[in-house]
Amino acid sequence: MRVLIQRVASASVEIDGEVISQIKQGLLVFYCAMKDDSVQQIPPMARKITHLRLFSDSDGKMNNSLLDVAGSCLVVSQFTLAADLSRGHRPSFSNAAPIKLAECLYNTLIDELRSYCPVEAGRFAADMQVKINNDGPATLWLDFQ
């Protein structure tokens, strides 16, 4: 599983000009299921995401988690995170999970995250416009085995 996590002051997802989800302070989680991923990876990944210390404490150090600041998650599926750019100029997406597995894992991640915090989500496999008010910026890449 691969995620790109951005600390945000706010973020939203639009489809066809309509806002379908939005959050204020929290984490924007771009999620990509890889071909060898399984449902068993979801609970520890959700715990990791929600417990990452990415938010500033009173001394300005990143010591607080999403839970400490009562933040939210916005989860967006993004299969392009599976891109292999090692050859040529056209990305290969052969490492991405098949669509049915990817959708199942995406929905399972959303459900698991909801056991920790408020969660909004994009629409799986949709053409979305994601608006990000990146805070910091603070952006992390997480490959989860």
Residue by residue, what is the 3-state secondary structure of the chain? Answer: CEEEEEEEEEEEEEECCEEEEEECCEEEEEEECECCCCHHHHHHHHHHHHHCCCEECCCCCEEECCCCCCCEEEEEECHHHHCECCCCCCCECCCECCHHHHHHHHHHHHHHHCCCCCEEECCCCCCCEEEEEEEEEEEEEEECC
Angle, helices 99-113 vs 42-51, to 10°: value is 50
Q: Is residue 122 within 8 Å of residue 21, measured between CB atoms?
A: yes
Q: Which are the catalytic amino acids? A: 78-80
The strand pairing partners of 19, in sequence order, are 14
